[in-house]
Structure 1
Amino acid sequence: MSMSAEVSRRSVSNKGDDDEAEKQPAAASGGGEIKLEAKMTLLNGITVIVGSIIGSGIFVSPTGVLKYTGSVNASLLVWTASGIFSMFGAYCYAELGCMISKSGADYAYIMETFGPFLAFIRLWIECMIVRPCSQAIVALTFSVYVLKPFFPECQPPDESVRMLAVCCILLLTFVNCYEVKWATMVQDYFTYAKLFALFIIIGTGLYQLYLGHTEHFTFENTKTDVTEIALSFYSGLFAYNGWNYLNFIIEELKDPVRNLPKAIAISCTLVTVVYVLANVAFFTTLSPVEILGSEAVAVTFANRLYGYMAWIIPVFVAMSTFGAVNGVLLTSSRLFYAGASEGQMPEILTMIQINRLTPAPAVLTVALLSLLYLCVSDIFALINYVGFATWLSIGVAVLCLPVLRYTQPNLPRPLKVNLFFPFFYIICSIFVTVVPMIASPVETGYGCLMILTSVPVYLVFIAWKSKPKFVRNLFAAATRVLQKVLFVVGPDRKAQV
């Protein structure tokens, strides 16, 4: 029996139960389409972006920029410039998001502009490595900070850390499968928590400035080597990664033409100001040597100034990372969903849970991959190998803007940016991507090999259309079984046939 027929049978058998029907979404009760609903407000959009950008890095190890610039003042300039550069990219994404209003962000834009092959390469590396690895790493950071008070003199046991990370991912998987509003509430409140912690740090830093603690703010020891400058921007831009995450779930944003540009502008400005002022606060109390040698800069800062109240910072770091795990899960699942909608992922990932109207199969897939990566001993290396691919693909996505201006001038463009912004961003992206590749050729080589694994997968599963009948039947049977287990149907199908 097909899933739609089963839904129809259930709908008819319950036809007289009006009270029960009122408790269910319209689609589940047989009166509408099964599709993702636009439930996210402008505030939700802002918290998705801010919560996705601000993870544990600014609390734990904001050292990469300082390491490559050599001086405090130069590092603050790089933090500021990285924020402005991210705003340029976000501005370009605002036009792309309003013009191509599909979930999937740069994947959807590359698909529209350059076709399925390049889009699949982007999809493959992001879905199979970058997103689940990132989620596993942030979940591990969450676990370390939760367990640290119980092991004050040593590192928590690795097994305990990984098991708590599993619990974190499973809990948030349930939240994201059960209700989109629950997921956005988690994102909202934990974003407020991390901003509150940063405002405490910033307020303390401003008070330290008032007391005259400015001895570390100099350009002394500034490095001028081009490679070092590029690597400092690479570290700075990595800290701002996530500004494009709202584009991944644009189908669920209310009035995206109005709210997407506003959310991006407010979020990027807020994060830039917070990042710069947080670094200023750290430098009012800690020397560059102390910051470079600290395992957790915010904790060292708190221990120096907050006395017996220093415990609040580890708590807020744990809350920050918990919210970041939720943000990655929320947006990554929509990337899987977008890929499946284009026929480049298994069909089951296009399915939506008929009662909860959430992309449950996609959420579960992201969670499963993240749990598998928790079994890998050095998952940080995987991120390092393919990190350059993230910036390269974002640069290619921004390139879509001028290309589409030329090839499809009649596309509706509610927002139209000056072409200076995409061209400037593309040139800087080439610089930031190529120089680290030259500086780290071995890691780049491994990364390129990992990216090339997408080619045979594309040729076998997507480009090869005339698969044997028994293979097609096997895939169809697996999809039907998973539909019945998860109680899901494809988007835009009527719940009652």
Structure 2
Amino acid sequence: MERTNHKNKSHQKKNGSETEKLNLKREVGLVSAVSLIGGIIIGSGIFMSPQYVLANVGSPGASLVIWAVCGIVSTLAALSYVELGTIIQESGGDFIYVLRIYGAIPAFFVAFTFVLVVRPMSNTATALCFSEYAVAPFYPGCTPPELVVKGLAVIGILVVSIFNILNVCFTMAIQVVFMVAKVVGLLIIAIGGVVTLAQGNFGSLQNTETAFQNTQLAVSPIVMALYQGLWSFAGWYNLNNVTEELKNPEVRSAYFLLLLLGPPVL
């Protein structure tokens, strides 16, 4: 995302010379902020993880339990980040929190790991998932060539990076459009599922015996299923990376609290 600096009107004098304080422009409003979080959470994970969750735990009932646990953990973590974002109103997310609380050395390791491992691997996984879905219609009945999938993934990363560098407002507008498209897609799937259940087609969920039949209770399958589920929810922490670009961050955080607490209460 673009980091646009502007000159602060007030000048500070230090050692007889004038210095200008630089601040980030507050251009991210409520709709853009919600779209940023929603657009990242509703990514490739939610469309690919369900099959892996079910494959690891072995039964539909156990997979629903896994999804419930992942949802509760992610909600609690997001609520913690809302509080951190209102107390420490600086951009940087994990890095700035570790820096302010534990000091420079732990913060350096956080930044080092994030820049060289976490973010590149996350972007790569997302780009590859997008590429596989994008090229699948052109290769019906067969596996797409690996070179085509990886090539399109590289192009996707470059295009997204260029858009983020050029203009933050334009990027947020694109984010809103794609978030709406993804929400519509999920609503179609969810409504289809509700209609199927309303028609009495419960399948293996008719009773507990069939719902939890063949459940894998070993540590490894459960951990892998939890990883896949949490990956689908990943993204709730991204807004804290741009706290200084939010308009009225305290107000925005209050709205996010209502959004997070609303579904469980309703």
Q: TM-score range by the shorter chain?
A: 0.7 to 0.9
Matched, 1:238 2:231: yes
Alpha carbons of 1:140 and 1:65: their partners in 2 closer, same or farther (altered >3 Å)? Answer: closer
Deviation at 1:267, TM superposition (A): 5.7
Deviation at 1:225, TM superposition (A): 4.2
Higher strand share: 2
* Counterpart amino acid of residue 151 in structure 2: M
Contact 1:143 1:165 in 2 (8 A): yes
- Identify the structure with bigger relative contact order (alpha carbons < 8 Å, sequence gap 6+): 2
Contact 2:36 2:176 in 1 (8 A): yes
Alpha carbons of 1:244 and 1:265: their partners in 2 closer, same or farther (altered >3 Å)? Answer: farther
Matched, 1:152 2:145: no
| Structure 1 residue aligned with 2:73 | 85
Q: Secondary structure of 1:216's match?
A: helix
Hey, what's the Cα distance between the residues in 2 that align with 1:112 and 1:124? 17
Q: Secondary structure of 1:35's match?
A: strand
Contact 1:66 1:232 in 2 (8 A): yes
Contact 1:147 1:161 in 2 (8 A): yes
Matched, 1:39 2:27: yes
Matched, 1:193 2:176: no
Contact 2:78 2:237 in 1 (8 A): yes
Alignment root-mean-square deviation, CA: 2.6
Matched, 1:257 2:245: no
Output aligned runs, 1:138-149, within 5 Å. 138-149=126-137
Unaligned runs of 5+ in 2: 12-19, 206-210
Deviations 1:21-63 (A, max 9, x none): xxxx975xxx996532111112211111111112112212413
Output aligned runs, 1:322-337, within 5 Å. none
Output aligned runs, 1:290-301, within 5 Å. none
* Counterpart amino acid of residue 232 in structure 2: A
Deviations 1:262-291 (A, max 9, x none): 225526877x9xxxxxxxxxxxxxxxxxxx
Contact 2:57 2:221 in 1 (8 A): yes
Output aligned runs, 1:2-401, within 5 Å. 27=7, 34-217=22-205, 218-225=211-218, 228-263=221-256, 266=259
* Counterpart amino acid of residue 69 in structure 2: A
Q: 110-119 or 215-224: which moved more?
A: 215-224
Alpha carbons of 1:64 and 1:191: their partners in 2 closer, same or farther (altered >3 Å)? Answer: same
Deviations 1:80-138 (A, max 9, x none): 22111111111111111111111111211111111111111111111111111221222
* Counterpart amino acid of residue 84 in structure 1: I
Hey, what's the Cα distance between the residues in 2 that align with 1:45 and 1:172? 18
Alpha carbons of 1:91 and 1:64: their partners in 2 closer, same or farther (altered >3 Å)? Answer: same
Output aligned runs, 1:416-427, within 5 Å. none
Hey, what's the Cα distance between the residues in 1 that align with 2:235 and 2:261? 10
Hey, what's the Cα distance between the residues in 2 that align with 1:268 and 1:188? 22
Hey, what's the Cα distance between the residues in 2 that align with 1:95 and 1:26? 28
TM-score normalised over the length of structure 2: 0.82
Deviation at 1:212, TM superposition (A): 1.4
Alpha carbons of 1:255 and 1:207: their partners in 2 closer, same or farther (altered >3 Å)? Answer: same
Percent of residue pairs bearing the same amino acid type: 36
Deviations 1:178-217 (A, max 9, x none): 2111111111110111110010111111111122110221
| Structure 1 residue aligned with 2:14 | none
Alpha carbons of 1:68 and 1:158: their partners in 2 closer, same or farther (altered >3 Å)? Answer: closer
Hey, what's the Cα distance between the residues in 2 that align with 1:234 and 1:156? 26
* Counterpart amino acid of residue 203 in structure 1: I
Unaligned runs of 5+ in 1: 1-24, 273-497
* Counterpart amino acid of residue 139 in structure 1: A
Contact 1:74 1:222 in 2 (8 A): yes
Larger Rg: 1
Hey, what's the Cα distance between the residues in 2 that align with 1:115 and 1:34? 23
Q: Secondary structure of 2:204's match?
A: coil
Contact 2:99 2:106 in 1 (8 A): yes
Q: Give the total of aligned pairs.
A: 245
